[in-house]
Structure 1
């Protein structure tokens, strides 16, 4: 009786067939052409400005110089960076906590309900509601002559400015920045909450676990990277904001973006343009570090969210 191994043809090596090399097809060219507007936008509004800032930070009258970057060690520059970091950290933490609570309320609501759709749409609008419009809204509401300020002072005898004009200083910036940080947190953190599956809670309860154990051992560790990443995004958003602070603060330069404005436009101290670019380069470095950490946390979140 012949066996399989008796046939020498079955033991012969199978020749390898090399796949034909594909050239660049028309479909691939069309795909590349579709990305050209995006790359053009990134080049014009991101890459070129970053290069201008980086080159200008090391440029002087005689060519290359370290004097602009070394000037970042001046006390007023360090204080501006410290206040910017403090402002960004406080508003990011407050916005993250309050926004996460609101996002959780939306996650537990009816998925296609009116409440969720209205709050989500409002968050998308309010997260981008900044600049001069937001500054004017706060001035008209709780400014020195705002209608809430006048009502509290005339009707209730409460003067919210008895301790100073705080709205136009760092505390006022914290309040205004928190206004748009909360809806931004709702937008970026809600998908992570939607990724939590009800079966995980049911499994915890079926194994005798309590609600506290579910949040500390299951949902909490899973949501921690997304929460921290969203907080870092809020930090970068506040750290780079300019228009709202420029419209609200007319005296002094408490944060770095206003210091840069002063260096570029001041008529009192001339020749500070490259120092302004050095401060801008410092901001780019800080934001780059924060966004790198954010990308790493988002990658970790995507492991279970996907």
Structure 2
């Protein structure tokens, strides 16, 4: 009995962390979503999620997340495959993997400033192209501070994240499988469509869902890049919580956060199912 208690004691920090940083904020959001401004229980906040501006914000967030997840998944998978073909303990693989680990976490104000300083209205690349090459990248409008700009900036950290999460699946592909396919007369196309492709598909889709959740929940980069308007749902929540024009929308912001939790929960549930299937052959 004492041994069981000692082993259980080791899990206390983990459960304390989950309770403080996951369970408690979730309960605050759920309770606030159904709380009235003057107390009591109400469904007004949840019904307000059907307003056009809220639905538009959710739609743009889903479009942003899906676009960057798709671009990041494809380009990241290609980069991960290039790393697999390199020497396992080679300098190139270690350098790219380390850089991907850093760049996947490179976001927020720092990333927004980097893009503004590079390709902003007065960025050095923008000025060089306009004055030296005669190309104005903003001839069609100031796209960097709108949804197209967010897609570009988010893709910057989505690609290295895909490299990190998809590389173990590629490492799980055994060379003997390709040799067996070739010995049976199978071409490269047959190998990828009949052997490697079906095996990698669950991991690829699961990684893409992880990228979707990562982009859907990102806030700091968009907040630093977009100074006017609330094009995506995290910024819409910020407006509801901090607006000095329309007061009393804090609980509406919590209702929108509850909607985000539902979307992310569905995505992560699908991710867990795909990862479970992938683990059958990775093990």
One of 228, 233, 245 as aligned partner of 2:205: 228
Match of 2:70 among 66, 70, 93: 93
Unaligned runs of 5+ in 1: 1-23
- Per the alignment, residue 267 of structure 1 pairs with 244
Corresponding position of 1:15: none
Deviations 1:10-65 (A, max 9, x none): xxxxxxxxxxxxxx233x32322222111111111110000000000000024110
Name the SS of the counterpart of 1:112 in structure 2: coil
* Structure 2 partner of 1:105: 82
Match of 2:159 in 1: 182
Instruction: Name the residue aligned to 2:9.
Output: 33
| 1:269-296 Cα distance to aligned partner (Å, 9 max, x none) | 0000000000000000000000000000
- The correspondence of residues 17-56 of structure 1 with structure 2, limited to 5 A, is 24-26=1-3, 28-56=4-32
TM-score, normalised with respect to structure 2:
0.99
Aligned positions, number: 282
Matched residue SS, 1:303 = helix
Equivalent position SS for 1:59: coil
Instruction: State the match for 2:274 in structure 1.
Output: 297
The residue that corresponds to 1:281 in the other structure is 258
CA distance in 2, matches of 1:32, 1:252: 49
**Runs (4+) of structure 1 moved beyond 6 Å?**
none
Residue from 118, 122, 132 that aligns with 1:155: 132
Equivalent residue number for residue 10 of structure 1: none
Greater alpha carbon shift after TM alignment, 55-64 vs 291-300: 55-64
2:34 is the counterpart of 1:58: yes
Task: Report the CA distance between 1:172 and its aligned residue.
Answer: 0.4
Spell out the pairing of 1:80-229 with structure 2 (5 A cutoff): 80-229=57-206
Question: Secondary structure of the residue that 1:64 maps to in structure 2?
Answer: coil
Unaligned runs of 5+ in 2: none
Q: Determine the C-alpha separation between the residues in 1 that align with 2:219 and 2:81.
A: 30
- Residue 69 (structure 1) shift: 0.1
Q: Which moved more, 1:56-65 or 1:127-136?
A: 56-65
TM superposition shift of 1:179: 0.2
| Cα deviation code 1:213-244 (max 9, x no counterpart) | 10000000000000000000000000000000
Say which one has the larger Rg. 1
List per-residue Cα deviations over 1:104-154 (Å, max 9, x = no partner): 000111000000000000000000000000000000000011100010011
